[in-house]
Amino acid sequence: MFSLVYRSTASPIFNKVDVKEMLEKARVNNLRDRITGCLLYYEGEFIQYLEGNQVMVLTLFDKIKVDKRHKDVTILAYGVTDSREFKDWEMAYADFFGDNDKMNYFKLLISSYNENLDSITSQNPSFNTFWIAVRENLDQTLESQP
């Protein structure tokens, strides 16, 4: 299993409707290509975690790099993993709008995560802890919805 994490800056004209359309297409394509992962949106920036077959993930990333909906695409981490972190998600998604304890917690996590990634890094315990916390939060959010 291979995973890749990148961050990018959203195009100024990119809005929530665009994100929804992008996610719908990504989920169909990722299901076909057996890619799973998570997309986070915070303060005009995307952080995306992709996992799957290395060739498939890198092929997708080549397309992502030239997508006009964002710029300044930077790899944060990549490597081989033992298992999928987002095995049930063709593409989990969270945007961090709103003001509640859960959102404030994740805003703090993302801010800390961004500050500590000055260059390409290998996956490490804090990296894994961050993505586990994101997955658990998304799982809980879905369970609590009517």
Global pTM value? 0.75
In this prediction, residue 120 carries a pLDDT of 45
In this prediction, residue 60 carries a pLDDT of 95
In this prediction, residue 69 carries a pLDDT of 86
Phi, psi at residue 10, to the nearest 5°? -70, 145
Q: Decide if 75 contacts 4 (C-beta within 8 A).
A: yes
Structure tokens at 36: 């799973």
